[in-house]
């Protein structure tokens, strides 16, 4: 498996009317509480906040100017990488800024304007946007932003950071109406006026002084834990202008790289690090959505030479995600990842997250905090989403933030709330128009959607599928990289367990194989996935009828650090056939298999794809391995994270 290191957005801290941004990440914006209009509901007795808002720079503060600390990178003795001089750091940082500045549909502009001794404030508010390579963070880097918690009118002379120096100036008196160091004291002052909740006042980016204790920073990926500066810097500066993390970690069947804003970096794959330097389609779309070019007639958002209006490139897809309660009630889902896959190229172009949430604080029936809570059932206001998508023909998919490849806690406060008060365990599916429902037997079936720039495609609504699972997706590790080419992994599903579901009218439609790959730049591709019958032998081995498979897909395109989907053809017919076969002989079981390619394997490290395993739980005796082409299947020393997915009959 990969040597993944984490890059995060910030940490949780609150001020009176300010918020130091929570560590949230997405194909969208970082979000923050909004206390504008906060009130006590007279019926429920709850203190109710207004909905969470995304953080952003006000147009008056763009371009956003930064100061770099004058300490070289890798300054600590014993670091495995040589020191990087400040002049070289300047070039790397500005080059990273330019990757965002160059997006023709986004008016964000970030610049390095000074080098000076910078206090290692770790994100405290001082109206100085600072960068240094001296942080003690356990992550590769952090990008904390301090933003307004409520709609605010800033008045000239206000001392917001309480340092004795005014942070707000009178634009009429100074003759300018943009954020500037008007008093030449080294910090940035804001022009007086109205600012929306979520407005960023200060952003800092701190890179770890050392990586895993001994490794450091390099200016070219070298295949070691020494980490490329630009690969991480471009990511962090995405957070700096409000972007959260993306869930795109495998663009297509031929490109294993993901979005720059994916929350982890494979430091042992130089090709993956190199790819992170350039924002992918998802990153570009959300920077453009947040700062859309051509939306003003003057100022920073007005068109300049080389700019392209946002509406000339992007359409908006809108919809909602809901689940169905046992009583038939529709429940909004916050924390679903919706993604658009181009049908012609096979590329996952952009993703989004569902839900609008708020915070409700319970005071308890006696006015105490005995029943207090931030995350209450009413906190999810709706399951709506909006996704900017360029011209193309797409299939629109949806998956839960279930931890693979990232969890709700890696995404946003909205997603975290959705995970606490809702259900983020539903299985991946595709939007299929009028056939969308809670009891789909073909969840991979889709309705193509054509989008044209400047239009809005509404009504792309999902209902999460009700499923019953056999097997497990629990995994604490992935199988080691030294597996032989042609190795076959097999999971047994007992006759009685399968028949119990089929006899009750459930439809078998999908096999799921938790998979991974050693190099993040390489797509997950197995030789094949197979559904077959077989039986246990007295010695504990298994005999599987590979010469007469029930279903087979070759090659089998997997997903990176996620469950790879083996959609079965004609699931209702298959279910009836399987039930008949199993009824004939109670010793016949069902097996789901994944076969590795023969090799050699692509990528810098040249390892095969891997499968998820549970090494901590008690052995079930249902997992097997074959290294002789399937002639013999011997017990595997851990439980494979393989599943069969069924849709039950509606009740």
Q: What number of other Cβ atoms are within 10 A of residue 183's Cβ?
A: 12
How confident is residue 495, by pLDDT bands cut at 50, 70 and 90? very high
DSSP notation for 262-327: SSEEETT-HHHHHHHTS--HHHHHHHHHHSBTTSSSSSTTS--TT---GGGTEEEEEEEEEEE-TT
* Pairing assessment for the beta strands 314-324 and 456-457 based on DSSP bridges: parallel
| pTM of full prediction above 0.85 | yes
Identify the CATH number of the domain defined by range 311-466: 2.60.40.10
What average pLDDT does the segment 574-597 reach? Answer: 98
pLDDT score for 533: 99
How far apart, in whole angstroms, are the C-alpha atoms of residue 267 and residue 227?
6
How far apart, in whole angstroms, are the C-alpha atoms of residue 47 and residue 225?
47
How far apart, in whole angstroms, are the C-alpha atoms of residue 269 and residue 4?
10
Q: Residue 95: enclosing H or E segment and its boundaries?
A: helix 86-101
Question: What are the residue ranges spanned by the domains of the chain?
Answer: 4-38+51-151+196-290, 311-466, 469-647
pLDDT digits (tens, 9 = 90+) for 272-299: 999 999 999 999 999 999 999 999 999 9
Burial class (CB in 10 A: 0-12, 13-18, 19+), 648: middle
Q: Which two tokens stand for residue 417?
A: 């709330």
What average pLDDT does the segment 543-559 reach? Answer: 98
Decide: 443 and 609 in contact? Cβ < 8 Å. Answer: no
**Is residue 370 predicted with pLDDT exceeding 60?**
no
Decide: 283 and 100 in contact? Cβ < 8 Å. Answer: no
pLDDT digits (tens, 9 = 90+) for 497-526: 999 999 999 999 999 999 999 999 999 999
Q: Which two tokens stand for residue 72?
A: 């070289």
Short-list 200, 248, 296, 241, CA closest to 103: 241
SS3 sequence of 124-156: CCCCCCEEEEEECCCCCEECCEEEECCCEEECC
Q: Can you state the angle between helices 495-503 and 571-584, rounded to 10 degrees?
A: 130
Q: What number of other Cβ atoms are within 10 A of residue 367's Cβ?
A: 8
> Is residue 427 classed as helix, strand or coil in its secondary structure?
coil
How far apart, in whole angstroms, are the C-alpha atoms of residue 504 and residue 506?
6
Decide: 338 and 352 in contact? Cβ < 8 Å. Answer: yes
pLDDT score for 611: 98
Decide: 646 and 468 in contact? Cβ < 8 Å. Answer: yes
**Is residue 5 predicted with pLDDT exceeding 80?**
no
* Pairing assessment for the beta strands 145-148 and 200-203 based on DSSP bridges: antiparallel
Q: What number of other Cβ atoms are within 10 A of residue 193's Cβ?
A: 15
Short-list 334, 481, 475, CA closest to 408: 334
Same fold: 4-38+51-151+196-290 with 469-647: no
Architecture of domain 469-647: Sandwich (2.60)
pLDDT digits (tens, 9 = 90+) for 602-633: 999 999 999 999 999 999 999 999 999 999 99
How far apart, in whole angstroms, are the C-alpha atoms of residue 269 and residue 372?
47
Topology classification of domain 4-38+51-151+196-290 = Collagenase (Catalytic Domain) (3.40.390)
How far apart, in whole angstroms, are the C-alpha atoms of residue 254 and residue 265?
19
pLDDT score for 220: 96
pLDDT score for 646: 99
pLDDT digits (tens, 9 = 90+) for 168-190: 999 999 999 999 999 999 999 99
What average pLDDT does the segment 346-360 reach? Answer: 92
pLDDT digits (tens, 9 = 90+) for 440-465: 999 999 999 999 999 999 999 999 99
pLDDT score for 362: 62
pLDDT digits (tens, 9 = 90+) for 477-488: 998 778 899 999
Cα separations in angstroms, 558 against 268, 378, 466, 594, 596? 21, 37, 23, 10, 11
């Amino acid at each position: 498996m990969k040597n993944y290191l984490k890059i995060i957005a910030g940490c949780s801290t609150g001020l009176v009317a300010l918020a130091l941004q929570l560590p949230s990440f997405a194909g969208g914006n970082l979000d923050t509480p909004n206390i504008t209009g906060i009130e006590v509901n007279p019926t429920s007795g709850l203190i109710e906040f207004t909905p969470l808002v995304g953080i952003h720079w006000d147009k008056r503060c763009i371009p956003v100017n930064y100061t770099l600390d004058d300490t070289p990178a890798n300054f600590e003795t014993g670091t495995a990488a040589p020191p990087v001089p400040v002049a070289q750091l300047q070039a790397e940082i500005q080059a990273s800024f330019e990757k965002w500045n160059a997006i023709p549909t986004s008016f964000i502009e970030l610049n390095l304007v000074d080098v000076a001794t910078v206090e290692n404030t770790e994100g405290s508010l001082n109206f100085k946007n600072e960068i240094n390579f001296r942080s003690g963070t356990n992550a590769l880097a952090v990008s904390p932003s301090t933003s307004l918690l409520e709609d605010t009118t800033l008045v000239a002379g206000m001392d917001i950071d309480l340092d004795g120096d005014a942070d707000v100036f009178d634009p009429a008196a100074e003759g300018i109406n943009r954020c500037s160091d008007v008093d030449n004291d080294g910090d940035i002052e804001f022009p007086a006026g109205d600012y929306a909740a979520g407005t960023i006042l200060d952003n800092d980016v701190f890179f770890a002084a050392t990586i895993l204790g001994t490794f450091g920073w390099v200016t070219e990926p070298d295949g070691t834990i020494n980490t490329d500066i630009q690969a991480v810097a471009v990511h962090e500066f995405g957070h700096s202008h409000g972007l959260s993390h993306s869930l795109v970690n495998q663009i297509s069947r031929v490109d294993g790289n993901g979005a720059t804003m994916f929350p982890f970096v494979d430091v042992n794959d130089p090709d993956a690090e190199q790819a992170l330097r350039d924002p992918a389609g998802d990153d570009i779309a959300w920077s453009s959505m947040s700062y859309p070019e051509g939306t003003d007639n003057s100022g920073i958002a007005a068109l300049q030479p080389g700019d392209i209006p946002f509406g000339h490139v992007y359409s908006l897809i809108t919809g909602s995600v809901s689940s169905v309660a046992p009583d038939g009630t529709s429940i909004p889902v916050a924390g679903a990842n919706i993604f658009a896959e181009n049908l012609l190229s096979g590329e996952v172009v952009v993703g989004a997250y569902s839900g609008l949430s708020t915070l409700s604080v319970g005071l308890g029936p006696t006015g105490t905090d005995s029943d207090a809570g931030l995350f209450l059932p009413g906190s999810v206001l709706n399951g709506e989403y909006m996704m900017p998508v360029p011209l193309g023909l797409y299939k629109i998919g949806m998956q839960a933030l279930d931890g693979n490849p990232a969890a709700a806690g890696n995404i946003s406060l909205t997603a975290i709330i959705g995970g606490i008060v809702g259900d983020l365990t539903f299985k991946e599916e595709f939007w299929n128009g009028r056939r969308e429902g809670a009891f789909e037997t073909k969840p991979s079936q889709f309705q193509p959607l054509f989008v044209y720039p400047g239009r809005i495609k509404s009504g792309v609504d999902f209902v999460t599928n009700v499923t019953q699972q056999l097997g497990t997706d629990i995994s604490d590790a992935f199988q080691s990289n030294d597996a032989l080419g042609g190795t076959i992994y097999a999971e047994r599903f007992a006759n009685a367990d399968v028949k119990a579901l089929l006899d009750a009218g459930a439809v078998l439609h999908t096999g799921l194989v938790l998979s991974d790959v050693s190099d993040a730049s390489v797509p997950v591709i197995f030789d094949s996935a197979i559904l077959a019958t077989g039986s246990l032998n007295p010695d504990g081995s298994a005999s599987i009828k590979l010469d007469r498979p029930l279903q087979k897909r070759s090659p089998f395109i997997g997903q990176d650090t996620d469950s790879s989907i083996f959609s079965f053809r004609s699931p209702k017919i298959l279910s009836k056939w399987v039930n008949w076969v199993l009824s004939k002989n109670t010793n016949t079981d069902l097996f789901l298999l994944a076969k590795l390619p023969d090799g050699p394997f692509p990528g810098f490290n040249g390892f095969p794809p891997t499968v998820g395993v549970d090494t901590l739980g008690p052995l079930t005796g249902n997992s097997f391995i074959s290294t002789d082409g399937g002639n013999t299947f011997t017990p595997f020393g851990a439980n494979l994270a393989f599943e069969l997915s069924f849709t039950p009959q509606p009740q």
